[in-house]
Structure 1
Amino acid sequence: MKRKWIGGLAAGTLMVGLLAGCGSSNSDGGSDSGNVNLRLYTYGTEEAYNWKATIAAYEKAKPGVTVEVVNLSEKGDTAEASKKLDLAAASSEQMDILMFSDAAGYAQRVSLGMAEPLDDYIAKDGFKVEEDYKVDTRLNGKVYALPGKFNPWYVLLNKDHLDEAGLPVPTDWTWDEYAEYAKKLTKGEGASKRYGTYFHGPQGGGWMEFVKLMMLNQPHGSDFLKADGSSNMDDPNFKRTLELRVKMEKEDQSSVPYTDMISQKLAYRTQFFNESASMITIGSWMNTEIGGTDKVPLTFHVAVAPFPKNDPDDEIGYTPVTTDYVAVAASSKHKQEAYDFVRWYTTEGQLVQGKNVPAWNKVKAEEIANILETVLAGTKNPELVDKESLVNTLVASKASELVPPASYQAEVYKAVNEEYEKLILGNQDIDTTVKNSQERVQKIIDANKK
């Protein structure tokens, strides 16, 4: 059967009878051709994921296996794709490989029984997820997906401002040192003031990374809830983050005021690229933009530094990470073949795809450099980016243990956000903020136990 490219669910539904028939005839390898057809459900567009070349490489390496890409959103909209994925599952379509865009979506679909546990396949292959990949995808002690791309958070720096202040590009630093940099980089007064840094959150219960900066760089316990759903609000690093934010905004006056962010609806891209702030802490999805774009041009030199540590003795590299969770559908009739593709795609396949830095640990620094060279070539002024600092930062980065999101996580985030606002607007002190946050989060947990 020839591979067909299906742009959305409608086409996928029309094809389901034919494909399911093709799949069932091959379920025990008993068809005349011996072919196995796998269906891959994804939100990733051709432009962003280079599917045609990637799948062609796999099919060449695996004669007798065809992979059909079911694109759930032509514009790469993950919310639209999630809805269509659930509809396809409810319609009992043939599904073999599933891609989830975030930890919450991954955990939710696992709880619904959509993904097959991969531990037996991994044991047979003889590797350990935590050794082979930079992202730990375990949920409740089991592996249901392997990670594809690797988008850690990092710090973007205006290198011209660093040079002007006589500051080196950091390769290993703490939040205290980050605060010192921000203070030295702050310049001027009033409307034309240049701030050392800009924090794009929290806001409206979102961008909550900015209220747990000193929790996110730890191997465990990086969220307000623990893996068992109990509160993690007594983690001292929550209070330390509040202290850092207050110090930088109120005492040092080196970070853009929270009131400005909210009232002016500030955007992190323009804050950085317009040189209103010298540093921003953000995700490496910015790799495709840091060399400048038509919408947001680059007029200065950019360097990259790792997500800061809390204490000098801490291990460098732990940072928030986004990835693609690539799973085998529990309903697949070709689980071994689907797993074989998932393992290939999340290792060598990432290099073939050439669009993102892989979560695979075996990728060499020069291979990452080649991928980034290609990514930066798509920007307007790649020559203004310090490529060495970008590569070194991405190589050193790694994800902390995955905490499965609770169904009431949004409530928790909203409550903590509200308490933070009271603090930063001067309506309560840090100790009261910590106490109120702890009490409100516990109430939410208790209410959801009933």
Structure 2
Amino acid sequence: MRISRRAVAVAAVLATVLPLSACSGGSGDDSSDASGPVKGKITFQTWNLQANFKDYFNGVIKDFEKKYPDTEVKWVDRPAEGYADKLSADAAGGTLPDVVNVSPDLVAPLAKAGLALDLDKDETAASFRDEYLPGAWQSHQIPGMDGTYGFPWYLNTGPMFYNKRLFEEAGLDPEKPPTTYDEVFDQGLKLAKQSDGEIATLAQVPTIEDFGRYGVQLMNKEGTGFAFNDAKGVEMLTRYKELFDKKALDPQALTATPESSGTKFLTESVAMNPGSALDLENFKTKAPTLYKNIGITDQVTSTGKVNMYVMGVMVNEKTKQKPAAVAFAHFVTDATRQMSFAKQVAIFPSTKGSLDDPYFTKEDGTDETRVRVAAAKSLKTAVNYTPVLFSEQMKTELRNQVAKALQGKQSPQEALDRAVEACDTLLKQS
């Protein structure tokens, strides 16, 4: 099971069924805070976790109820498919659980509807802020709104793999792979030239995360519109077009998927590709020659900070048992519980200091630890570059306009202007 996942168009789904009037349909007293006694019965909802982690969560609940004898936690788990629809129905019907497993894009419409507790305004919840990595805490903040609307839970990221043999054959230092976009562009052109266009450096067109890692401002400060069509955004897309024209960006990148780009890397026709420990095992069994020449480095970034994927835990603003709900949301996501969970599945804790544990810093010669150590190191300063309000439809609009620019059907400026216009229209509709 892949534990790092994002719902398809979840924000759009929730927004269509969550009028602001939903905030008046809760069953609790939203004027209360979490400073009272921790007691009462609460419901905790997760997202497709029960099948593989039943014993773990039952243990967490047992420990919590032991610490707080006057509490009772009911755990419900929902399948990945239809999760956003279920949240929508619960929110509109006033039956949203007390504590809910969410991703940033899921929490945004709930926060706008007044159904997600602002942790920064609740004195008890806010007191836990310094326990988490700053980038993780900020991931559940909504552009245009003050506050933080979910405890950060587990994180995920992946390193960049590169083919040392291909770099060496192009006259590049295989022990010093490109780490910034400018280095990728420059070395990519050299690699393509040396191979007569047979070897590309990258296999996918730039995504919104690439624009973020390049240092482009993605949204305006008010959160009311997108801004990636600025001079820096145009500069990056112009460089990508140069790669595409010189075959340093794979010719099939316009229609590539993560799976197809992975295959390109596997067959050694692409020099760099993002991945995970699962990919290393795949290389070892299916492409032993490639495996012998695998290099592992951080994600490419010109900001010095890599991208992180975040899951969180939200407290229902309308819960009748706010002290217990806040206490449990914090308990599930504290350093002890996160460290325990990370040793069961390939995720990373969002709590400060956890990534300094030997589990994330010491290699033992296995593929798993090689990737784990590299990823954990980069996560300490990582940020979630994907705007909370950037939907799947917006991703499609950006991809389509980028493809037209790479094909020369319009200039990079025109492409990004049209992408921003389309995304702004979708933003207003949501």
**Normalization by structure 1: what TM-score?**
0.70
**Residues 27-38 of structure 1 mapped to structure 2, 5 A cutoff:** 36-38=40-42
CA contact (8 A) 1:157 1:303 kept: yes
Aligned: 1:112 with 2:106: no
Q: In structure 2, what is the equivalent of residue 18 of structure 1? A: none
Q: CA deviation at 1:159?
A: 4.3
Q: Summarize the alignment of residues 39-438 of structure 1 with structure 2, pairs less than 5 Å apart.
A: 39-46=43-50, 50-60=53-63, 62-63=65-66, 64=69, 65-73=71-79, 77=80, 79-93=81-95, 95-101=97-103, 103-121=104-122, 126-128=127-129, 132-135=133-136, 136=138, 137-139=140-142, 140-152=145-157, 154-162=159-167, 165-170=172-177, 173-186=179-192, 188=195, 193-199=198-204, 201=205, 208-209=207-208, 213-218=210-215, 222-223=217-218, 227-251=222-246, 253-257=247-251, 259=252, 261-262=254-255, 267-281=260-274, 286-293=275-282, 297=286, 299=288, 300-301=291-292, 302-310=294-302, 314=303, 316-317=304-305, 319-348=306-335, 349-354=337-342, 355=345, 356-367=347-358, 369=360, 382=368, 385=370, 388-399=373-384, 403-405=387-389, 412-437=394-419
Residue identity in the other structure for 2:250: V
What is the rounded CA distance, in whole Å, between the counterparts of 1:87 and 1:345 in structure 2?
25
Q: Please report the RMSD computed on the Cα atoms of aligned residues, expressed in angstroms.
A: 3.9
- 1:225-249 per-position Cα deviation (integer Å, ceiling 9, x unaligned): 6543134144222112211211211
3-state SS of 1:119 partner = coil
SS of structure 2 residue aligned to 1:114: coil
- Asked if structure 1 preserves the Cα contact closer than 8 Å seen for 2:117 and 2:317, the reply is yes
Cα deviation digits, residues 138-194 of structure 1 (max 9, x gap):
221111101111123542223454566532255x8321112234345556457xx33
What SS is found at the alignment partner of 1:308? Answer: coil
Secondary structure in structure 2 of the residue aligned to 1:420: helix
> Relative to structure 1, is the Cα distance of residues 396 and 320 closer, same or farther in structure 2, using a 3 angstrom cutoff?
closer
Stretches of structure 1 lacking an aligned partner (at least 5 in a row): 1-22, 28-33, 203-207
Q: SS of 2:338's equivalent?
A: helix
Separation in structure 1 between the aligned mates of residue 249 and residue 110 of structure 2, nearest angstrom:
39
How much has 1:277 moved relative to structure 2?
1.5
Partners of 2:428 and 2:65 in 1: CA distance: 52
The answer for the alignment partner of 1:16 in structure 2 is none
- Residue-by-residue CA offset, 1:305-328 (whole Å, 9 max, x unaligned): 233333xxx5x21x3332112101
For the Cα contact (< 8 Å) 1:273–1:296, is it kept in 2? no
Query: Gaps (5+ residues) in structure 2?
Result: 1-27, 33-37
Bigger strand fraction = 1
Post-superposition offset of 1:430: 2.9
Whole-angstrom CA distance in 2 between matches of 1:393 and 1:100: 23
Instruction: Count residues with an aligned counterpart.
Output: 378
Q: Can you list the C-alpha shifts for 1:105-163, whole angstroms capped at 9, x where unaligned?
A: 22012223332222244556634469644321222111110111112354222345456
1:168 partner letter: E
Amino acid in the other structure paired with 1:70: V
